[in-house]
Structure 1
Amino acid sequence: MIFVSLFYTFFIIGLFGFGGGYGMLSLIQTETVFHHHWLTTAEFTNIVAISQMTPGPVGINTATYCGYVAARNDGFSMWMSVLGSAVSTFALVLPSLILMILISKMFMKYMNTKIVQSVFSGLRPAVVGLLGAATLLLCNGENFSTPNINMWQFIISIFLFAATFVGTMWIKVNPIRMILYAAVAGLVLLY
Structure 2
Amino acid sequence: MKGEWGKVFQLFWSFFKIGPVTFGGGYAMIPLIEKEVVHKKHWVKSEDLTDVFAIAGTIPGAIAVNAATFIGHRIAGIRGAVAATLGTLLPTFIIVLFLCGVLSTFQNNPYVESAFFGIRAATVALIVYAGIKIAKKSLLDKATFTLAVTMIVAMLMFHWHPIFVIFLGALLGIFIVRIKEKLGMLVKFEKDGDKEIENNEKSLKQQVGM
TM range (shorter): 0.7 to 0.9
- Taking the aligned partners of 2:70 and 2:36, their CA distance within structure 1 comes to 14
2:105 matches 1:137: no
Correspondence for 2:24 = 19
Give the Å deviation of 1:103. 2.9
Q: CA RMSD in A?
A: 1.2
1:98 corresponding residue in structure 2: 94
SS in 1 for 2:158: coil
Q: For structure 1, which segment, 102-111 or 14-23, has the greater mean C-alpha deviation from structure 2 after superposition?
A: 102-111
Residue 82 of structure 1 and its aligned partner are, at CA, apart by: 1.1
Question: Aligned equivalents of 1:106 and 1:175: distance in 2?
Answer: 35
Paired letter, 1:68: H
CA distance in 2, matches of 1:103, 1:162: 39
Tell me the matched-pair count. 173
Pairing of 1:97-136 with structure 2 (within 5 A)? 97-136=93-132
Normalising to structure 2: TM-score of the pair? 0.79
Q: Which segments of 5 or more consecutive residues in structure 2 lack a partner in the other structure?
A: 1-5, 179-210
Identical pairs, percent: 29
Rounded Cα–Cα distance in structure 1 between residues aligned with 2:29 and 2:157: 26
> How far apart, in 2, do the equivalents of 1:70 and 1:156 lie?
33
Please state if 1:7 is matched with 2:2: no
Q: What's the TM-score once normalised by structure 1's chain length?
A: 0.86
Q: Deviations over 1:13-38 (max 9, x none)?
A: 00111111010011111111121111
Which structure has the larger Rg? 2
| 170-179 or 5-14, which deviates more | 170-179
Structure 1: state its 5+ residue gaps.
72-80, 146-153
The one of 146, 167, 179 aligned to 1:159 = 146
